[in-house]
Structure 1
């Protein structure tokens, strides 16, 4: 039997415009879904508390070291939970991008303060994504998961350090090169964006009013959704990209007697890909 085939995209957790389907050995997942697969196959699966619980844990660490000399003191006295949530987010991002929890003695005072807090948080706060990925990376040196290939939606160089370290130990397939097929100003804009992504410096592109590109701005999101719903033509193939709040757009599509897209809130653990 072949190993698991995984399509991995850094923004594929959460809402997606397709319902789950039955499939065997194929998954479409974001970071949380992929991390769950890796931890399960490597024997690292554990019960992880909610972010709210982690904030309380980190607040307790801040409180134990709090004094007037700490840079976070005034904010912490005013809003302990808000301050803990903000600093915990900083900490989690640092670990995701490769921080090991230590800092040199010559580091700025604010960083030294957080390093002092980290001496407590390293054992008192539940692991974050970066720490869990570090454990996965270490386990991959000893065990091989049942994964045949990982198809990347995003270029590996755009992902955080910890994800890059894990993916380099797996059989990955790079995303396909995007090739624009538009005509007129749309084609020129696609070419300009492609060159920019590849680091080429190009002169500013002059606007061309040939009807291939339309920019619309609305005063509210509801008005924007309503306008879009009334512009869609039922019998014309259309690619609809909705970055967020798809349920509100679906409501406007229904009100305009257009087909709903099923943009509902999905599981953050990922969906299957047929």
Structure 2
């Protein structure tokens, strides 16, 4: 893996941070759509369309949470060109994601009772599915993924574990599978983070090398043109690859005729016609 001096750490962090911001931009709308669809399915499955109590308040809170994420997205898009403080925008995305997860976690308290195993399974499937989906969508930013997944799933887990209703075998298996999946996604996110940093280091090193090569080439070209002597460079096939103005004068040809790929034989014939060989 390419390595960079310590003073490049800030540049690497900037590269990674800005790439995360771009990923948040593309993922926010999809997260909002998934949240709306899941909420509609949840209300339908719970049969709470006629309830004006907690479900109505919860839907308002969910709408505000989704709206906050979209407001952050819109603000970031407007300020992208002028605002270079990517850390501030990254934490705005994360805070909005965390609040979104909290609202979904509160849905665990909407049913007055979880004695019905089917109701347990609906809630568990919905919230763990959202958590796993959110972690997959935000795999590029583990903190943001956990800020949604943990508030989304912990309240239901606590209510199921410490509630009076017994847990069905399927519910226990589903909970364990959800923990396993989120653990695997966490490991994958950490690995992706290391690979992203390695890629950023490699790209930064390549950029520095290319810039250094361009600067060296410019310096060499300046010396090449101002050395005061005619210099011509031929490749292994004896074709002209580089020359300066003094070289064109020495050859005795019109500078417009001298071109890359000109055979050495042609150069020598031109020099002979110009009387360079006496």
Structure having the higher strand fraction is 1
Q: Rg: which structure is higher?
A: 2
Larger RCO: 1 or 2 (CA < 8 Å, sep 6+) = 1
Same fold, TM exceeding 0.5?
A: no
Structure having the higher helix fraction is 2
- TM range, smaller chain: under 0.3
TM-score (norm 1): 0.27
TM-score (norm 2): 0.26
